[in-house]
Amino acid sequence: MSKVIVVGAGLGGVSVAFELREKLSATVDIEVIHEGNEFNFVPSNPWVALGSRTREQVVLPITPIFDKHHIGFNSSGVKRIDTVHKQLTLGDGSQKDYDFLVICSGPKLAFEQVPGAGPEHGYTQSICTVDHAVKAHQAFQRLIEDPGPVLVGALPGASCFGPAYEYVLSLEYELRKRKIRDRVPITFVTPEPYIGHMGLGGVGDSKGLMEHQFREHGIKWICNAKVTEFTQDKASFEVINDDGSIKSQQQLPYHLAMFLPAFKGSPAIAEVPDLCNPKGFVKIDKYQRALAYPEIYAAGVCVAIAPIEETPVPVGAPKTGLMIESMTSAIVANIQSTLAEQPATTEPTLSALCLADMGNTGMAFLAVPQNPPRNQNWTGSGRWVHWAKIGFEKYFFHKVKHGTSEPVYERVGMRMLGVSRLKPKG
Ligand SMILES: Cc1cc2nc3c(=O)[nH]c(=O)nc-3n(C[C@H](O)[C@H](O)[C@H](O)COP(=O)(O)OP(=O)(O)OC[C@H]3O[C@@H](n4cnc5c(N)ncnc54)[C@H](O)[C@@H]3O)c2cc1C
Please give the full DSSP string across 58-105, using - where no structure is assigned: GEEE-HHHHHHTT-EEE-B-EEEEETTTTEEEETTS-EEE-SEEEE--
Closest residue (by CA) to atom 20 of ligand 1? 11
Residue 271 banded pLDDT, cuts 50, 70, 90 = very high
Question: Closest Cα to residue 103, out of 326, 337, 325, 266?
Answer: 266
Percent share of the chain, pLDDT over 90: 87
pLDDT of residue 415: 63
DSSP string, 272-308: STTTB-TTSPBPB-TTSBBSS-TTEEE-GGGB----S
pLDDT of residue 407: 87
Residue 426 banded pLDDT, cuts 50, 70, 90 = low
Separation of CA 164 and ligand 1 centre (Å): 15
Least confident of 4-13, 66-75, 91-100, 415-424: 415-424
Q: Is the pLDDT of residue 234 over 90?
A: yes
Closest residue (by CA) to atom 41 of ligand 1? 78
Closest residue (by CA) to atom 15 of ligand 1? 320
Return the ligand 1 atom nearest residue 11 CA: 25
Q: What is the tens place of the pLDDT at every residue in 243-252?
A: 999 999 999 9
The residues assigned a catalytic role are: 160, 354
pLDDT of residue 417: 65
Separation of CA 216 and ligand 1 centre (Å): 32
Separation of CA 13 and ligand 1 centre (Å): 9
Tell me the backbone φ, ψ of residue 287, rounded to 5 degrees: -100, 15
Residue 416 banded pLDDT, cuts 50, 70, 90 = low
Residues with CB under 6 A from ligand 1: 7-8, 10-13, 33-35, 42-43, 45-46, 77-78, 104-106, 127-128, 160, 162-163, 266, 268, 300-302, 320-321, 324, 355
Tell me the backbone φ, ψ of residue 103, rounded to 5 degrees: -95, 120
Question: What span, in angstroms and rounded, lies between the C-alpha atoms of 333 and 4?
Answer: 13
Residue 419 banded pLDDT, cuts 50, 70, 90 = low
Percent share of the chain, pLDDT over 70: 98
DSSP string, 302-361: GB----SS--SS-------HHHHHHHHHHHHHHHHHHHTT------B---EEEEEE-SS-
* Mean pLDDT of all residues in 133-152: 98
Q: Is the pLDDT of residue 341 over 80?
A: yes
Domains of the chain: 2-108+264-347 (3.50.50.100), 111-262 (3.50.50.60)
Least confident of 94-103, 245-254, 399-408: 399-408
Residue 421 banded pLDDT, cuts 50, 70, 90 = confident
* Mean pLDDT of all residues in 297-304: 98
Tell me the backbone φ, ψ of residue 384, rounded to 5 degrees: -60, -30
369 cis-preceded (ω within 30 degrees of 0): yes
In terms of pLDDT, which residue wins out, 114 or 381?
114
Q: Give ∠ CA 61-92-331 in degrees, rounded to 5.
A: 60
Pocket residue to mutate for ligand 1, from 105, 169, 324, 387, most atoms within 8 A of Cβ: 105
Q: Is the pLDDT of residue 44 over 70?
A: yes
